[in-house]
Amino acid sequence: MPIKFNVLLEVLNSKQTTTLKKLQAIVNFNDCYKNLCRIKQEQFDSFNREIQLAILKKMQTNWTGNMLITVKDVKSKQKKSIRLFQLFNKYCDHAYLTEDSVIYLEVPLKTPSLCWNKQLFSLFICDCAENILHYFEENYPDDYTPRNALQVVRRYVLGDATEEELLKAREEATRAKERANPHRFWYEATDAAESVLCTTYPWCGWKTIDYVDYAYQRTQKRYKMHHHENRLWEYLSGKFSVKDAKKLYGNKPS
């Protein structure tokens, strides 16, 4: 049942209401999403992490352009603030993302540290490339080299594949891209192959995203950027971790 902001706030502040019912109330919230920014930081801090993340996810789905992420290096104490979507586009300088980095949301509400590192970044761009891989496979049903290359990249990121395996996957992805030279109406097949090839190079994530968007534009589908951001949020919130990826992709033959 849809609820308004005042009702949501009452539910969230009630000590008698279970976490499950609070989460359901957040899902059912259908008031103006900017009203969520009326939640005071003191109130937000009093909620458990599960509730906090659910609120932020609701904000992100509808108001992502104004969500500000801060990346801080623990050792140097240097900080850099960027918008949420810049975590995976060409304006993001990944040089500052080190093993000693922590990230947290700064605007509209401050949060404890979120989950993000080089491994999660690489896994995320693989997910994005896989999302359009069907465009290649529909035109070349006998060619599974891009999909196999993605599997190797994921295993390499997780420490289960060697440098030699990665280089071989890159060669195979290159051949797939050359095979998919654009002709007739098959440009999106090339985009899919290009997106996979980009995943085999360090820090080419924003190029992967670009090719994903190109493919959807060519097929005249209104592909919304929040699809990327929804998947990104699963990583940031810890719903999908490196440990989960290990179970799903690790220790498998290429």
Task: Report, as an integer, the average pLDDT of 232-247.
Answer: 86
Q: Is the pLDDT of residue 165 over 90?
A: yes
Q: Give the number of C-alpha atoms closer than 13 A to the C-alpha of residue 30, restricted to the C-beta side.
A: 4
Pair of tokens at residue 79: 């900080």
Residues with Cβ within 8 Å of residue 108, at least 6 apart in sequence: 36, 37, 59, 63, 66, 67
Which DSSP string do the residues of 38-65 spell out, in sequence order?
Answer: GS-HHHHHHS-HHHHHHHHHHHHHHHGG
Model confidence pLDDT, tens digit, residues 70-108:
777 666 677 777 666 566 554 444 444 555 567 777 777
Could you tell me which residues are beta bridge partners of residue 69? 82, 105
Pair of tokens at residue 131: 């999302």
User: At how many degrees (to 10) do helices 118-130 and 226-236 cross?
Assistant: 140
What pLDDT was estimated at residue 168? Answer: 93
Model confidence pLDDT, tens digit, residues 105-154:
777 778 777 787 778 888 888 888 888 888 889 888 889 999 999 999 99
What pLDDT was estimated at residue 53? Answer: 83
What pLDDT was estimated at residue 119? Answer: 83
What pLDDT was estimated at residue 93? Answer: 47
- State the CB neighbour count (10 A cutoff) for residue 20: 9
Please tell me the distance from the alpha carbon of residue 251 to that of residue 254, in angstroms, as a whole number: 9
Model confidence pLDDT, tens digit, residues 11-38:
998 989 999 999 999 888 877 667 787 8
Instruction: Please give the residue that has the higher pLDDT: either 253 or 198.
Output: 198
What pLDDT was estimated at residue 101? Answer: 64
Task: Specify the 3-state DSSP secondary structure of 79.
Answer: strand
